[in-house]
Structure 1
Amino acid sequence: MAKASDLVKRLLVGRALRSGQLHEQLLPKRIALPVFASDALSSVAYAPQEILVILSLAGVSFYAYSPWIAIAVVVVMLTVVASYRQNVHAYPSGGGDYEVATTNLGANAGLTVASALMVDYVLTVAVSVANGVDYVGATIPFVAQHKPAVAIGIVILLTVVNLRGLRESGAAFAIPTYAFMIAVLGMIAVGGFEVVFLKEELRAPSADFDIVPEQTDLTMFAAAFLVLRAFSTGCAALTGVEAISNGVPAFRKPKSRNAATTLLMMGLIAISMFGGIIALGLASGVKVAEPSVAATDLLRPDGTPVGPGYHQQPIISQVADAVFGGGSLPFVVISGVTALILFLAANTAFNGFPVLGSILAQDRYLPRQLHTRGDRLAFSNGIIILALMACLLLWGFDADVSRLLNLYIVGVFVSFTLSQTGMVIHWTRRLKTEEDLKARHQMHRSRTINFFGAVMTGLVLVVVLLTKFVVGAWIVCIAMPILFLMMKAIRRHYDNVAAELEITEEYDESTLPARNHAIVLVSKIHKPTLRALAYARATRPSTLEAITVGVEGKEARALQEEWERRGIPVPLKMLNSPYREITQPILDYVKTVRRRSPRDVVTVFIPEYVVGHWWEHLLHNQSAFRLKARLLFKPGVMVTSVPWQLHSSDRLRGRPEQYAPGVARRSGGEQVKNR
């Protein structure tokens, strides 16, 4: 059974890697781009469409604002990319926004960024997978009918792939990511050539449709609010930019330069795809409405509603239809790789969240297990926790993209704003000590870029909060403080434990006990009891006695007689128990011994069975477990288990040691230490 489970693990995760092979997991730029950019690139699959969906609430006439909204989103994206190129050079350790905010704005700002990023990483997985399921569900009814189950299954598959290690997951996801980039950029190039040079008219499947406005006779304030809401939704295209700053350690040397180059490549490709799709969408007359009202508000050319049987194609599919024709091979390829890239977009979070969790654990804000590496040198515990949280979110929100999107991008813009503010302080501090004129010029330029980035992302954050708070963002605004307080509590616990265990000047080793009173617990006379007695005698305690609890008078007298008949050279003390309780009389007796000699130690030896089947644990050692659990809280009392291996335990002899992901390991290959 053990070998079978280990074989399954190896088939899924792969053979364990030595700590010295960590350098083999580092990524070249060609692999790092699909690993860290899949989230940002996949945003073009839905960000342009969401802009049009929000504007459609006021009717097709409001589509005229979409080019200006797209330009604003592109300006913000360029600003963020330029700003984060400064980050990866200044802070290449992988702490990203968390490290920048902590170093320059203080621990509380750093924890705010960390809580925002963790929420956003979980939402990245949930939104990307749910959106991918929507694409597949449009053609496969079974998937549409079981969206949450299919989405959770996809998350589990992504988890297994990521547990195999960063390099393997990157290689697995590189081909579909590059296929998506080539397909979409090719479509934009062909469509742009037809429109600009051939002067052909592109016609999307919905070009002749009309939209019934949900909001009519808007005041200037209401119209501006709607445009701002469309802008905030379109800013989903910026998600994933921060992942590269958190993943710098995963790059090959020179790490900072390779990360900055990859960030620039990602930004230029994402901007080209985003701008091209929305431009071709408008040129081909794409019409999209809110999914919940599309059946009634989307009108055919004859003025009749499309009805509940109509499937509203995503904007990329409609543009592909207009450029290549519906049902053509390029159309099928583009639709397929778009659905695939949405699933793979979650991989950005699977690489960012575990690294961030490791850094937070190293700083004692999260459990230390998150700082350890698994069999494949990935932060396995962080990967599994991310997957569990994303699955809970998908299940709780029924894998509904519209509901999940309302929670999205709040966290990422909190981290953007605080990070860029921290970078301004970083450069200001550096300028106070730097004397080289060339270096000062570069610092002034970097500070200007980061200042502009802080202002831009801060404004976007305000817009996002104003436009999304009521429709779902309030959940994130509650989740972030809860995570913040949880991490503060964990750090306080670790600090208290460290202070309690620290060796101080007042600590005097001479206060250690000079005498050891040994007690062996006896239930009956058999081999485990004799072994425990022999071991206790071998430790040469100051005093040694055996104690048993007399529940049944007849059995107690028989035990006493056999003890004397065998001539066991250890005195046996019988404890009375009129209420047939076993644990409490032993605890009372140990307390009495401690009270007589408060400065001495009492060692309790407990014979235990070692069994080979899980169900045998239910049949043995229950009294021993209860006793140990109670005795561990008694100061000055040591508990020693003396094992006796039953024959059933032979099946486990020679079994290779099993590890949970990251258990009893240290990040970076430290040797296992005694607890």
Structure 2
Amino acid sequence: MPNVSISFKRLIVGRPLSSDRLGEQMLPKRIALPVFASDPLSSVAYATQEILLVLTLGGLAYLHLAPWVAAAVVVLLAVVVLSYRQVVQAYPSGGGSYEVASRNLGPWAGLVVASALLVDYVMTVAVSVAAGVDNIISAVPALDSCRVLVNLGFVVLLTAMNLRGVRESGRLFAVPTYLFVVGVVAMIVIGLLQTAFGHAPVAESAGWQVRAEPGHVGLTGTALMLLALRAFSSGCTALTGAEAISNGVPAFRPPKARNAATTMAAMGGLSITMFAGITALAMIGHVHYVDDACQLVGFPGNCATGTQRTVIAQIAAAVFGGTHSVMFFSIQAATALILILAANTAFNGFPLLAAILAEHRYLPRQLHTRGDRLAFSNGIVILAVVAGTLIYAFNGSVTRLIQLYILGVFTSFTLSQAGMVRHWNRELAGVSDPGLRRRIHRSRMINAVGACLTALVLVVVLVTKFSHGAYLVVIAMPVLYVMMRGIRRHYDRVARELRPQPGGIVLPSRTHAVVLVSQLHQPTLRTLGYAKATHPDTLTALTVKISDEEVNALRAEWEDREIPVPLTVMASPYRDITGSVLEYMARLHREHPQDLIAVYIPEYVVGHWWEHVLHNQSALRLKARLLFQRGVMVTSVPWQLDSSDRVAAQQPYHASPGVGPKVG
């Protein structure tokens, strides 16, 4: 069984890599772009759709606001990209928003940012995979009945690929990312050229009317402004993942900061170009998109069971001549792939951030441990499990999941940019060179504008999305914050308890060895011999009387073999072995409070899982209870059964060529 599980692990994850090969996992810019920027690049596939989804609540009357809403998103995206370029250059160690907030605003702000980012990374996986599956269903509607299963299958696939390591997964994900970028840019260029020559593309939904939802007709003044703000907050999904590069700077090849800043600029330019182009074509082609197909007047077929094609699918069909063209399927395939692979941004960002938090003792230390392929495997698995649970709970619905999205993003954006303003203020205090001061003033202005804009958007997002599901994020972030504070207090308390006292090693006054005996066999004799070899001050063999016949037989054999260790028998009228042993240890500790009690337990080492059920159960329970007794040390003395020898012979040994144990 162990050999089979190891073989399966090697098939999925690959051969383990030694620690000295960590440098080989560093990424060049061409690979880092799809690894860290696939989320913001892919979000353009549904950001326009989310804007239209909100504006069509009032029918078609408010679609004229879409270009203005999109323009505001573009301005915000440009400011955020410029702001995070400052973060990358000022803090190249890879903490990103968490490090900026912690150093400049205090630990509390850093934990708020960390909580927001952890939630956002989980949502990135859930929303990206669900959006990708939506586009697959747009091309193959028959898959709608198994939507959740397909979603979970892609989460498992992404998990396996990321467990193989950053560099290997990056190479595999690079091709779909670049295919998507090339395909979308080509679609935009061709669509705009068609428009310029008088043959503007027309979407399949252009002739359909939209039934306005009750309460959304004839909005004016404040109500209309709130609708526009809600559309803006939905369109801000185009900014998700923009901070991932700042968190992943250590994964870049040297010079790390410059390469990361260049990659961020490329990501910003491509995202703005594609988002603006898709929005323009959606307006030119008169795309009408709603949450419920039954709101569409003229929708073909049964609206209750039918599915509406996504906005990017409608644009591709209009530009490339229908849903049966090769380019339509190419765009759909590339879009589905990039949306699903956009989750890879979170699979890189979440484990890195969790590892930093674990190093700072805010999360369990296991999250700072690298796996066989030098990836932070524990963080990858946790992210996959939580995201998969969300997808299952929300039935893989992008519309429902996206309401929980971007609140965490703008929380981290705001605190990070505010922290950068304080960072530049401190830098100014120690700089006198006029040229350098001008550069710092310019950087501070960029971050100040970014902080103000993202704070405003944070308020808008909170107000407009709170009742639509964002309240769950508002609950999750404080829970994570409190949990991390609690973990840090625990680690600090343990560190204080474990701090060595002044002086050297303190020897116990005396040592009392106790060997637990159930019957006289080879494991018992080995344990007695080992205990005697430690030269304790006293040595006692302890057995618990369950029946007179067993105890009498044990005493007789003990005397026949002339075992030179006294045998102590504890009576147990209620057949409670553990309780009787604990009672003996408590009495011994009361009689010798300054002495050390060493308990030796013989244990079988077995080779098959079912043998664990047949052996060692009472020993494990007893050991678990003894570990809580002060002044008591527990030692397991193993006895390997034949089955364990066969399993040991099958275990593979991994070592670098020419590397062996050092002697001397």
* TM-score between the two structures when normalised by the length of structure 2: 0.96
Alignment deviations for residues 82-127 of structure 1 (CA, whole Å, 9 cap, x no partner): 0000000001111000000000001110000000000000000001
Distance 1:305 1:365, change over 3 A: same
User: Hey, what's the Cα distance between the residues in 1 that align with 2:493 and 2:523?
Assistant: 40
Alignment deviations for residues 220-272 of structure 1 (CA, whole Å, 9 cap, x no partner): 11111101000000000000100000010111011000000000000000000
Q: Does the Cα contact within 8 Å between 1:300 and 1:306 map onto a contact in 2? A: no
User: Hey, what's the Cα distance between the residues in 2 that align with 1:15 and 1:162?
Assistant: 14
User: Hey, what's the Cα distance between the residues in 1 that align with 2:571 and 2:249?
Assistant: 67
Q: Which residue of 1 aligns with 2:308?
A: 312
User: Hey, what's the Cα distance between the residues in 2 that align with 1:141 and 1:38?
Assistant: 26
Q: Which residue of 1 aligns with 2:596?
A: 601
Secondary structure of the equivalent of 1:608? strand
Alignment deviations for residues 426-474 of structure 1 (CA, whole Å, 9 cap, x no partner): 0001111112222211111100000000000000000001100011000
Q: Does the Cα contact within 8 Å between 2:139 and 2:332 map onto a contact in 1? A: no
The amino acid of 2:580's aligned partner reads: P
485-494 vs 602-611, greater mean Cα deviation = 602-611
User: Hey, what's the Cα distance between the residues in 2 that align with 1:169 and 1:115?
Assistant: 26
Q: Does the Cα contact within 8 Å between 1:83 and 1:453 map onto a contact in 2? A: yes
Q: Which residue of 1 aligns with 2:5?
A: 5
Distance 1:658 1:552, change over 3 A: farther
Q: Does the Cα contact within 8 Å between 1:26 and 1:250 map onto a contact in 2? A: yes
176-185 vs 627-636, greater mean Cα deviation = 627-636
Shift of 1:394: 0.6
Aligned-CA RMSD value: 1.8
Q: Which residue of 1 aligns with 2:119?
A: 119
The amino acid of 2:298's aligned partner reads: R
Q: Does the Cα contact within 8 Å between 1:299 and 1:305 map onto a contact in 2? A: no
Q: Which residue of 2 aligns with 1:641?
A: 636
Distance 1:141 1:200, change over 3 A: closer
User: Hey, what's the Cα distance between the residues in 1 that align with 2:542 and 2:369?
Assistant: 44
**1:289-438 to 2 correspondences below 5 Å:** 289-290=290-291, 292=292, 294-295=293-294, 297-300=295-298, 307-308=303-304, 310-326=306-322, 327-438=324-435
Secondary structure of the equivalent of 1:514? coil
Q: Which residue of 2 aligns with 1:204?
A: 203
Q: Which residue of 1 aligns with 2:258?
A: 257
Alignment deviations for residues 7-44 of structure 1 (CA, whole Å, 9 cap, x no partner): 22111111111111111111111111111111101111
User: Hey, what's the Cα distance between the residues in 1 that align with 2:377 and 2:44?
Assistant: 30
User: Hey, what's the Cα distance between the residues in 2 that align with 1:531 and 1:96?
Assistant: 56
Shift of 1:139: 3.7
586-595 vs 420-429, greater mean Cα deviation = 586-595
The amino acid of 2:560's aligned partner reads: R
Secondary structure of the equivalent of 2:539? strand
Distance 1:504 1:275, change over 3 A: same
User: Hey, what's the Cα distance between the residues in 1 that align with 2:600 and 2:629?
Assistant: 15
The amino acid of 2:212's aligned partner reads: P
Secondary structure of the equivalent of 1:60? coil
Shift of 1:191: 1.3
The amino acid of 2:204's aligned partner reads: P
Shift of 1:568: 1.0
Answer yes or no: is 1:54 the counterpart of 2:54: yes
242-251 vs 137-146, greater mean Cα deviation = 137-146
Secondary structure of the equivalent of 2:512? strand
Answer yes or no: is 1:612 the counterpart of 2:613: no
Distance 1:463 1:309, change over 3 A: same
Q: Which residue of 2 aligns with 1:238?
A: 239
Q: Which residue of 1 aligns with 2:268?
A: 267
The amino acid of 1:495's aligned partner reads: D
Secondary structure of the equivalent of 1:653? helix
Distance 1:639 1:218, change over 3 A: same
**1:66-81 to 2 correspondences below 5 Å:** 66-81=66-81
The amino acid of 1:637's aligned partner reads: V
Paired residues, number: 653
The amino acid of 2:104's aligned partner reads: N
The amino acid of 1:318's aligned partner reads: Q
User: Hey, what's the Cα distance between the residues in 2 that align with 1:208 and 1:306?
Assistant: 17
577-586 vs 358-367, greater mean Cα deviation = 577-586
Q: Does the Cα contact within 8 Å between 2:211 and 2:297 map onto a contact in 1? A: yes
The amino acid of 1:210's aligned partner reads: Q
Q: Does the Cα contact within 8 Å between 1:40 and 1:238 map onto a contact in 2? A: yes
Q: Which residue of 2 aligns with 1:20?
A: 20
The amino acid of 1:274's aligned partner reads: F
Q: Which residue of 1 aligns with 2:627?
A: 632
Shift of 1:308: 3.5
Q: Which residue of 1 aligns with 2:168?
A: 168
Secondary structure of the equivalent of 1:607? strand
Shift of 1:306: 7.5
**1:421-460 to 2 correspondences below 5 Å:** 421-460=418-457
Shift of 1:133: 1.3
Answer yes or no: is 1:482 the counterpart of 2:483: no
Distance 1:373 1:134, change over 3 A: same
The amino acid of 1:471's aligned partner reads: H
User: Hey, what's the Cα distance between the residues in 1 that align with 2:474 and 2:406?
Assistant: 12
User: Hey, what's the Cα distance between the residues in 2 that align with 1:652 and 1:309?
Assistant: 55
User: Hey, what's the Cα distance between the residues in 2 that align with 1:4 and 1:93?
Assistant: 40
User: Hey, what's the Cα distance between the residues in 2 that align with 1:53 and 1:557?
Assistant: 84
Shift of 1:138: 3.0
Alignment deviations for residues 401-423 of structure 1 (CA, whole Å, 9 cap, x no partner): 11101101000000000000000
Q: Which runs of 5+ in 2 are unaligned?
A: 655-660
User: Hey, what's the Cα distance between the residues in 2 that align with 1:280 and 1:633?
Assistant: 69
**1:67-146 to 2 correspondences below 5 Å:** 67-146=67-146
Secondary structure of the equivalent of 1:146? helix
User: Hey, what's the Cα distance between the residues in 2 that align with 1:628 and 1:311?
Assistant: 60
User: Hey, what's the Cα distance between the residues in 2 that align with 1:630 and 1:22?
Assistant: 42
Identity of aligned residues (%): 58
Q: Which residue of 2 aligns with 1:589?
A: 584
Q: Does the Cα contact within 8 Å between 1:138 and 1:144 map onto a contact in 2? A: no
User: Hey, what's the Cα distance between the residues in 1 that align with 2:302 and 2:575?
Assistant: 78
User: Hey, what's the Cα distance between the residues in 2 that align with 1:27 and 1:7?
Assistant: 29
Answer yes or no: is 1:555 the counterpart of 2:550: yes
Q: Which runs of 5+ in 1 are unaligned?
A: 660-671
Q: Which residue of 2 aligns with 1:528?
A: 523
The amino acid of 2:464's aligned partner reads: T
Alignment deviations for residues 135-168 of structure 1 (CA, whole Å, 9 cap, x no partner): 2223434521111111111100000001111011
Alignment deviations for residues 198-240 of structure 1 (CA, whole Å, 9 cap, x no partner): 2333211122222122211224111111010000000000001
Q: Which residue of 1 aligns with 2:469?
A: 472
User: Hey, what's the Cα distance between the residues in 2 that align with 1:548 and 1:213?
Assistant: 82
User: Hey, what's the Cα distance between the residues in 1 that align with 2:546 and 2:357?
Assistant: 53
Shift of 1:309: 5.5
Distance 1:638 1:3, change over 3 A: same
Secondary structure of the equivalent of 2:564? coil
Q: Which residue of 1 aligns with 2:658?
A: none
Moved over 4 A (4+): 507-510
User: Hey, what's the Cα distance between the residues in 2 that align with 1:251 and 1:56?
Assistant: 43
Q: Does the Cα contact within 8 Å between 1:606 and 1:642 map onto a contact in 2? A: yes
User: Hey, what's the Cα distance between the residues in 2 that align with 1:317 and 1:287?
Assistant: 12
User: Hey, what's the Cα distance between the residues in 1 that align with 2:505 and 2:171?
Assistant: 57
The amino acid of 2:349's aligned partner reads: G
User: Hey, what's the Cα distance between the residues in 1 that align with 2:284 and 2:205?
Assistant: 12
Q: Which residue of 2 aligns with 1:564?
A: 559
User: Hey, what's the Cα distance between the residues in 2 that align with 1:584 and 1:4?
Assistant: 40
Q: Which residue of 2 aligns with 1:667?
A: none
Distance 1:442 1:655, change over 3 A: farther
User: Hey, what's the Cα distance between the residues in 1 that align with 2:235 and 2:190?
Assistant: 24
Shift of 1:487: 0.4
The amino acid of 1:25's aligned partner reads: Q
Secondary structure of the equivalent of 2:600? strand
Secondary structure of the equivalent of 2:61? helix
Alignment deviations for residues 364-392 of structure 1 (CA, whole Å, 9 cap, x no partner): 00000100111111111110000000011
